[in-house]
Amino acid sequence: MSSRNRWLVVLLLGVVVAGACGDDDAATTTVATTGTTTAATTAPPAPTELRFTFEGVTGVQDKILVATVFLTGDQSVAGTVCVPVTADPFSGSGVVATAAPDNPCSYDAPYGVLLTAEGAYSYVIAAFTPGTQTASACASGEVTVAGPSEVVIAAADLRAANCTS
């Protein structure tokens, strides 16, 4: 899927998310330790899962971080995770799962069915203010899921300039 098509999918998801997103009550708090995006194997509880961890993210308080995951080479959405930002700076995490057909954040945590298929994925993360359709900060990348996997997003990774690339 082209970068342009991924951003279009994310914007469409943003339109759906704008109304309301579910609360990730199962989110854990982490401490910021890095300034770059990395894909690292950690020890989340599921045998295979993809976790997005946000560390020391600033400038997006009261927004919702929506990570949309695509199976590499496929245009369909493999899963999402929605994490409400409650502080500035913010640290927290959520596990990727299938989205509700009409609202990627409408399931209670964990959302839908956890993403447990191993493989190569691409992702786009966008910060949305509830009620708006435009992302204020974005990040994107790729990750290989082989067992429990985690993508760590630091403050330097989530930028408004990334929404236009």
Q: Which of 10-14, 73-77, 152-156 has the lowest mean pLDDT?
A: 10-14
Token pair in block for residue 24: 């990730």
Q: pTM for the full model?
A: 0.70
Quote the Cα angle for 50-95-28, to 5°: 120
Closest CA relative to residue 104, chosen from 10, 27, 2 = 10
pLDDT band with cut points at 50, 70 and 90 for residue 15: very low
DSSP assignment string, 100-129: PSS-TT-SPSSPSSB----EEEEEEEEEE-
CB 6 within 8 A of CB 78: no
Token pair in block for residue 90: 């913010």
According to DSSP, residue 35 is labeled: S
Q: Where are the alpha helices (DSSP H) in the chain?
A: 3-17
Whether omega for the bond prior to residue 130 falls within 30 degrees of 0, making it cis, is: no
Structural domain including 67 reads: 3-164
Tally the domains of the chain: 1
Using one digit for the tens of pLDDT, what is the confidence trace for 78-96?
888 889 999 999 999 998 8
Strand ranges (E), the chain: 38-40, 50-57, 64-71, 77-84, 90-95, 119-128, 135-145, 149-154
Quote the Cα angle for 60-101-10, to 5°: 40
Average pLDDT, the chain: 74
Distance of CA 110 to the CA centre of its chain: 13
Residue indicated by tokens 């974005």: 138
Using one digit for the tens of pLDDT, what is the confidence trace for 36-76?
444 443 444 556 789 999 999 999 999 999 999 998 887 78
Distance CA(7)–CA(139), nearest Å, equals 11
